[in-house]
Amino acid sequence: MGAFLVALASVAFAEIGDRTQLLSLALAAHYRKPWPIIAGVLVATIANHSIAGLLGAWFGHFLTPKVLDIMVGVSMVAMALWVLRPDTLSGRATEVSSRSAFLATLVAFFIAEIGDKTQIATLALAAAYPNLFAVISGTTLAMLIANVPAIFLGDALSGKLPIRPMNYVAALLFGALGIFFIVRAVS
CB of 185 closer than 8 Å to CB of 66: yes
Per the confidence metrics, is the pTM higher than 0.75? no
Q: Which of 46, 6, 43, 34 lies closest to 140 in space, CA to CA? A: 46
- Grade residue 146 by pLDDT with cuts at 50, 70 and 90: very high
Question: Considering only 35-44, 45-54, 61-70, which range has the smallest mean pLDDT?
Answer: 61-70
Is residue 32 a contact partner of residue 154, using CB atoms and an 8 Å limit? yes
- Dump pLDDT digits (tens) for 31-48: 778 899 999 999 999 999
**Average pLDDT value over all residues in the chain:** 79
Spatial distance between the Cα atoms of 1 and 129, rounded to a whole number of angstroms: 11
Residues 6+ apart with CB under 8 A from 162: none
163: confidence class by pLDDT, cuts 50, 70, 90: low
**Confidence band of 16 (pLDDT split at 50, 70, 90):** confident
Domains of the chain, by residue range, sit at: 2-66+85-160
pLDDT of the residue at 122: 92
Task: Give whole-number Cα distances, 40 to 47, 50, 115, in Å.
Answer: 11, 15, 19
CA distance 15 to 169: 11
- Range picked from 67-71, 87-91, 133-137 for highest mean pLDDT: 133-137
109 Cβ partners below 8 Å, 6+ apart?
Answer: 20, 23, 24, 40, 41, 44, 45, 48
